[in-house]
Structure 1
Amino acid sequence: MKFVPIKDIAVLRSGFTVRGKVEPIPLDEVTKDNVRLVQMKDLDEYNRFHLDEVYAVDLDNVKPSHYLKPGDVLFRSRGVTNTAVHIGDIPFGLVAASPLVVLRVEPGRADPAYVTWYLNYPGQRQISRLSAGTSVPGVNVADLGDVQVPLPPLATQRAIADLADLGQQEQALMAQLADKRQTYLHALLSQCAQGQTKLGALA
């Protein structure tokens, strides 16, 4: 199987640098023309993107090249979690904030969702070596571009990405179910503590 560096199949760039504190625009003042700023907080532990939690902000010096496009991949370049998120449909103007890195995969060379999966799973071994030994855990753009990715046929890439997505959805649903079970259990135990329910009734 042929391996290629990511920089050969994608354009990589650092996210937009925000000066000062991010001040969200009040919801009742937001219009479709306002820029939404994607930050690290908007990506969850299951490498999903929460569009409804993205702040609308006033940004200066935003260029057309800063705007995200469907299919872009966002990579967490700082912190102990260096994983990627694939961006789907974009209903309004989105800009990714640094320290996120934007990867725009070349159409016809690789599938963006496949590249995302590879970075999050098999590629983590390479990525962990890049961030090891630094005072602040992280991966710079140049080093990320050197990460080697195997390129099977596009149909195979898409099949891998689809199966990985199903597995990720299952994992998220199982975690939600476990949380609900814990909430229910502790509610029952609280009733026992207050004498409203006998502990033996729970056995």
Structure 2
Amino acid sequence: MKYLLKDIATIQTGLYPSPNWLGNDVAFLQARHFDENGVLTAALLPELPLNDQTEKHLLQEGDLLFAAKGSKNFVALYRKEFGPCVASSTFLVIKLANKEVEPAYLAWFMNFPTTQKLLKGNAIGTSLPSIPKNVLQELEIDVPTPSTQHTIVKIHTLQQKATAIQMQIIELRATQIHHLLLKASQK
């Protein structure tokens, strides 16, 4: 089945905090906290207060963060293990309203190269390209059955793990060769 994103989710902008806000209750998610695939790579430290503004923008399990500004337009899935967080204005926050769509599936679909190419083709601006909210709202989403969504997410997760293991093997092999060469040079 096909849906427009606006028909299955609400989309809101991230928060642009006031410079005079002081507090350390809520983490402020920024693009620099993620790799180009939307995987959290940095430790999150609370840097904003919990006030009326931040409370309205607190992320919920399953919310998607779309990096709308810049050249890396990944989608990241918010998980409650991140702790209390708000998204920066770099992100558009996608809150699914249709329970038939698995958030991890939608993240996979939006990070898929074909979808990324389509979105980047609709970016505006040159020095800091940006994908407007209305473009995202009109994105057509292919939604298979829940079991197919689950299978796609499972396979994708296994592929990511396999890639991580391959990278570890490459790094370990490089270290091993480095040590062998160093040892050989000291003879």
Class of the TM-score when normalised by the shorter of the 2 chains: 0.7 to 0.9
**1:150: how far off?**
0.7
CA contact (8 A) 1:22 1:57 kept: no
Structure 1 pair 148/177, CA: closer, same or farther in 2 (3 Å)? same
Q: Is the CA contact 1:71–1:86 (under 8 Å) kept in the aligned structure 2?
A: yes
Change in 2 beyond 3 A, CA 1:47/1:136: same
1:181 and 1:45 mapped to 2: Cα distance?
Answer: 25
**Corresponding letter in the other structure for 2:176:** Y
* Preserved CA contact (<8 Å) 2:36 2:74: no
Once the two structures are superposed, residues 165-197 of structure 1 have per-residue CA deviations (whole angstroms, 9 ceiling, x without a partner) of 1112211221232223223323433444xx325
Structure 1 residue 73: deviation in Å? Answer: 1.0
2:146 alignment counterpart: 154
Do the aligned residues in 2 keep the contact of 1:73 with 1:85 (CA within 8 Å)?
yes
Alpha-carbon distance in structure 2 between the residues aligned to 1:172 and 1:140? 33
Distance 1:63 1:173 in 2: 38
Say if 1:36 and 1:94, in contact at 8 Å, map to a contact too: yes
1:19 deviates by 3.9
Unaligned ranges ≥5, structure 1 = 26-33, 198-203
Q: What pairs up with 1:138-177 in 2 under 5 angstroms?
A: 138-177=130-169
TM-score, normalised with respect to structure 2 = 0.84
Q: Does 1:35 align with 2:26?
A: yes
Measured after TM superposition, the shift of residue 127 of structure 1 is 1.0
TM-score by length of 1: 0.79
Distance 2:137 2:38 in 1: 20
Is 1:188 the counterpart of 2:180? The answer is yes
> Match of 2:84?
93
Q: Paired residue for 1:179?
A: 171
User: Which residue does 1:18 correspond to in 2?
Assistant: 17
Partner AA of 2:108 in structure 1:
W
Shift of 1:21: 9.6
Larger Rg: 1
Aligned length: 185
Q: CA deviation at 1:20?
A: 4.2
Q: Tell me whether 35-44 or 135-144 shows the greater mean CA deviation.
A: 135-144
**Equivalent pairs: percent with the same residue?**
25
What's the RMSD between the two structures over aligned residues?
A: 2.6
For residues 8-49 of structure 1, give each alpha carbon's deviation from its aligned partner in whole angstroms, at most 9, with x where no partner exists. 111111111134499895xxxxxxxx1112111211234212
CA gap 1:23/1:65 in 2 versus in 1, 3 angstroms: closer
Paired with 1:58 and 1:93, the residues of 2 have a C-alpha distance of 10
Q: Which residue of 2 aligns with 1:30?
A: none
**1:56 pairs with one of 46, 55, 60:** 46
